[in-house]
């Protein structure tokens, strides 16, 4: 992954976690996944140079290797016209399938084109204990190191970033954002 994209993604993960905590703090209606995608796109566009375009809701008409899938966010080089990074978002406490479905989808794409970086950003809106999810975060709330195999297919992933953001209410609740890379 290019350094400029890696830096922008790190800022995006931190920004989305803080944005979720802020929304909770001022008691605005709970965000949906689309809200998080729009916020992430805005942060990425602000952090990336004019050499990149951010696209939301990529379908097979935009990128043939996605097949029947839809991708939440893509970073595209304006110079080469290539897709540099595909990102899926998951509000972890709002879905039954969890992030493993997104990992499976991105692994299919990664097998077709190994030059595209594929990430899943897992967002927790509710209070999130530090050991959740146990396979990605240790008991202190830090990213587990090395390659982790998840899901029934045991696809390899690596935790790229973990960010906690706290509300300042009397009973602070952690909002957690975890960014994993599909290898």
Span 30-67, pLDDT tens digits: 777 888 899 999 999 999 988 999 999 887 666 777 67
Per-residue pLDDT at 22: 79
With residue 151 as reference, give the H or E element that holds it.
Answer: none
Q: Which residue has the higher pLDDT, 126 or 109?
A: 109
* Cα–Cα distance for residue pair 20/177, rounded to 1 Å: 9
Residue 23 contacts residue 31 (beta carbons within 8 Å): yes
Give residue-wise pLDDT tens across range 65-78.
Answer: 767 778 899 999 99
Q: Provide the domain count of the chain.
A: 1
User: Residue 96: is its pLDDT beyond 50?
Assistant: no
- Predicted TM-score of the model (pTM): 0.87
User: Residue 11: is its pLDDT beyond 90?
Assistant: yes
Per-residue pLDDT at 128: 54
Structure token pair of residue 155: 């696809």
Q: Which residue has the higher pLDDT, 55 or 142?
A: 55
Q: Where are the alpha helices (DSSP H) in the chain?
A: 3-25, 33-47, 100-112
Q: With pLDDT > 70 as the criterion, what percentage of the chain qualifies?
A: 82
Mean pLDDT score across all residues of the chain: 81
CA-based torsion, 12, 14, 19, 20: positive or negative: positive
Per-residue pLDDT at 45: 92
Q: What is the CATH number of the domain that holds 33?
A: 3.90.1570
What would the mean pLDDT of 7-33 be, rounded to a whole number? 82
What would the mean pLDDT of 145-157 be, rounded to a whole number? 84
Write out the residue range of the structural domain in which residue 121 sits.
Answer: 3-182
């Amino acid at each position: 992954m290019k350094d400029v994209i890696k830096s922008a993604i790190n800022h995006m993960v931190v920004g989305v976690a803080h944005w979720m905590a802020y929304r909770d703090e001022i008691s605005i209606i709970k965000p949906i996944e689309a809200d998080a995608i729009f916020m992430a796109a805005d942060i990425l566009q602000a952090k990336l140079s004019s050499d990149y375009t951010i696209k939301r809701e990529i379908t097979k008409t935009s990128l043939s290797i996605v097949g029947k899938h839809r991708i939440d966010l893509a970073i595209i080089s304006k110079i080469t016209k290539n897709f540099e990074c595909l990102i899926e978002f998951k509000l972890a406490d709002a879905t039954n399938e969890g992030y493993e479905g997104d990992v499976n989808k991105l692994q299919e794409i990664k097998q077709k084109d190994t030059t595209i970086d594929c990430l899943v950003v897992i967002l927790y809106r509710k209070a999130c204990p530090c050991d959740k999810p146990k396979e990605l975060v240790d008991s202190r709330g830090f990213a587990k190191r090395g390659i982790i195999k998840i899901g029934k297919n045991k696809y390899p992933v690596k935790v790229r970033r973990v960010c906690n953001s706290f509300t300042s209410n009397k009973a602070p609740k952690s909002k957690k954002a975890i960014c994993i890379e599909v290898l």
